[in-house]
Amino acid sequence: MFRKTPIYLALALLMGVVTLSAQAPPKYGHMNLGNLLESMPETKSANEKLKVFGDSLQAIDKKMTDAFQEAYKKLEEEYNAGLLTPVQAQTRQAELQKQQEDIQKYEQQAQQAVAAKREELLKPILDKVEAAVKAVATENNYLMIFDTSSGAFLFAAEADDVAALVKKKLGM
């Protein structure tokens, strides 16, 4: 009984080697996602919409800042002319401080709004690219595809650049 074990073990190892050699080696690919996104018309359109949105928020910020500067200048002129009592000057300074805090709060909200708008505009584009990359990987038997724009790997000599295949899948 023990004499047959090495024969079965050797046979099992041989079968495993034959099975492994029959399978294709894993393929790895790479592409520059940043360059791909930059070349897509949808991204250019999204960036234009984002710029218009950001400009509208910036215009509101400018109005608020201009109003603050004007109020500050007026307070300074009236104070220097002796038209304000110390209590009036203190009250106006408190109002200006509140106004300045409101501007800072608005700027933070505007930054968050721009970030949310960017995500809203780019999500469908990224979803489309992700689907195309998955399709290319499946159709061409890639085990992994790396994004060279993020620096996620250190060596890519043995990999294939699949950007052309993804562009083709996207109809570009």
pLDDT given for residue 8 in this prediction: 43
92 lies in some domain: yes
Domain interval for residue 85: 23-169
Whether 34 is covered by a domain: the verdict is yes
* Calpha distance 66→73 (Å, rounded): 10
Domain membership of residue 88 (yes or no) is yes
pLDDT, tens digit (0-9, with 9 covering 90-100), for 39-79: 999 999 999 999 999 999 999 999 999 999 999 999 999 99
Q: Enumerate the H helices of the chain as residue ranges.
A: 4-22, 33-39, 41-80, 86-139, 163-169
What pLDDT does 160 receive?
72
Instruction: Enter the tokens of residue 44.
Output: 């250019």
The amino acid at residue 74 is: K
Domain assignment present for 3: no
* Domain-embedded: residue 84: yes
Q: Give the pairing type, strands 27-31 and 160-161.
A: parallel
Q: Of 140, 133, 117, give the one whose Cα is nearest residue 166.
A: 133
CA-wise closest residue to 137 among 45, 30, 44: 30
What's the structural domain count of the chain?
1
Residues of the chain with pLDDT under 70: 1-24, 151-159
> How many other C-beta atoms are found inside a 10 Å radius of the C-beta of residue 30?
21
**Has residue 112 been placed in a domain?**
yes
Coil/strand/helix, residue 21: helix
